[in-house]
Amino acid sequence: MSAAPAVTDDPTGVPIPKNATYISHREVQEWSAEISSLEATLSDPGARLEDRGEVTQQLKRAKHALDTESPPDVTPAQRDAIAKEAVELREKIRGQMCSQEEMRKAPPGAIGKHFKEREMIPLHLRWKNLMRILHKGDPNPDVANIEMLRPKESTINMDNAVIPGKQFFLSPDTQQYKDNYDQTFGGGEADPSEVAALREQLARLEKLVAEKAAAPAVAPAKPKRPRVMADAPCGKTCGSKAGALAHARSCQKCKAIAAAPEEEAA
């Protein structure tokens, strides 16, 4: 992730990025662990480093990323301003979001509403940054999850939805079901032609299940051969003996080690 651009004239008094988000608590821990590992490698006199300068540059980049992309520490006054704005943004974003039901069923009007929701992505990014600041150090992965704001119930008519969903009926044991049976189901017995069609469909499904059960089982895939690691003359561990030989042909240290016995013999 590239460094987040700073905004110096932010009303909260905190340089909050506009086009990026602060890293999460998990990412902060990962960067910190990477920095500790690089520092331990550089301080170990027995570590075999092909390019100490490159490792030093990696450490420098990791520290810069952690410093610039982590949520900053704020004063109590800044925290109050951030919390107030976060509440205002939450209500504004929720008012323009498709509900969970609309996202699942896609009724008429939901697609256009979703396009308008996507136009608010800059507000989404700002709300996520505000929440990352307010909950700095919180391991909960959902503190800045925009989906946590999505309403559950829909305000759009679900008639003619692309995915209509399931229909629920009252239990036959209830009095309301008995009183309204004729109005709900039309009264009378089921149509014999419909019953015959359902039985025919059931017979076809049972035949397919039986044929699948009788089909021979697919032979299991052969297990992969384990990789055999090999060390080149310079001590570098390669994924195979061929890889170690290829490395030795291009490594100056391996060439020097191979030439040493010849020089001694001469």
The dihedral through the CA atoms of 147, 151, 152, 153 has a sign that is negative
pLDDT at res. 3? 41
User: What is the pTM for the complete model shown?
Assistant: 0.52
- How far is the C-alpha of 180 from the C-alpha of 177, rounded, in Å? 5
Phi-psi region of 43 (alpha: psi -120 to 50; beta: other; left: phi over 0): alpha
> Which residue has better confidence, 111 or 93?
93
Residue 7: what pLDDT? 44
